[in-house]
Amino acid sequence: MRLLLNVNGMEHELDVRPTARLIDVLRLQLGLTGVKEGCSEGECGACTVIVDDKAVDSCLVLAVQARGKKVLTVEGLADDDGLDLLQRMFIEHGAVQCGFCTPGMLMSAKALLMADPHPTEEAIRLALAGNLCRCTGYTTIVAAVRSASEQPAESSSTPPALDGAGRDV
């Protein structure tokens, strides 16, 4: 069936099976392999994308459910001016290790900051509750999101100094 899909600001006219999952259309038809598949049942969050301002597991929704909506994947976070603030904070806080959870983490964090630009730490942790990471223990990831939330949007082009990914006691 024919599907018009707006992904990362671009309109795509696609021929999709009615049963096609959003993740398959994004990965296989549009080549957006930044959308990762870790569990196929909405438990790990690696496939998280933003559909109309909400973080969703793209393995749990059909592509047709995104008809007429705006889909944002990790590939759409950076723009011509460079990386998104969250992406830079993830790099600078050492929040990226194997990186397989990173795209999903970024999209959940992005959806959170779109809804609540200055969340509490608890709100950050809850927003990431559906994104599993086996490498980091989440400390650096939470620190990266917090750091992004603490910066005024206009200064986003100036990277802050490194503060170390962990801390000594």
Q: Which of 111, 128, 148, 149 binds another protein (CB under 8 A)?
A: 128
The residue among 50 and 133 lying less far from another protein, judged by its C-beta, is 133
List beta partners, residue 12: 5
DSSP string, 78-117: -BTTBS-HHHHHHHHTT--SS-SSHHHHHHHHHHHHHH-S
135 lies in the site for another protein, by CB under 8 A: yes
Instruction: Tell me which residues in 49-88 interact with another protein (CB under 8 A).
Output: 73-75, 77-78, 83, 87
* CA atoms of 109 and 86, how far apart (whole Å): 8
**Rounded to an integer, what distance in angstroms lies between the CA atom of residue 44 and that of residue 27?**
17
Q: Is 20 helix (H, G, I), strand (E, B) or coil?
A: coil
Q: Which stretch binds another protein (CB under 8 A): 61-69, 112-120, 133-141, 146-154?
A: 133-141
Token couple for 161: 């100094």
Nearest-CA neighbor of 1 among 29, 42, 36, 27? 29
> Scanning residues 81 to 120, which ones bind another protein (CB under 8 A)?
83, 87, 90-94, 96-103, 106
Tell me how far, at minimum, the Cβ of 77 lies from another protein, in Å: 7
Nearer Cβ to another protein, position 45 or 66? 45
Helix or strand (DSSP H, E) at 56: strand 54-57
> Considering beta carbons, is residue 63 or 142 the nearer one to another protein?
142
The answer to whether residue 38 forms part of the interface with another protein (CB under 8 A) is yes
Q: Which residues would be at the binding site for another protein (CB under 8 A)?
A: 32-41, 43-44, 46, 73-75, 77-78, 83, 87, 90-94, 96-103, 106, 122, 124-126, 128-142, 162, 164-169
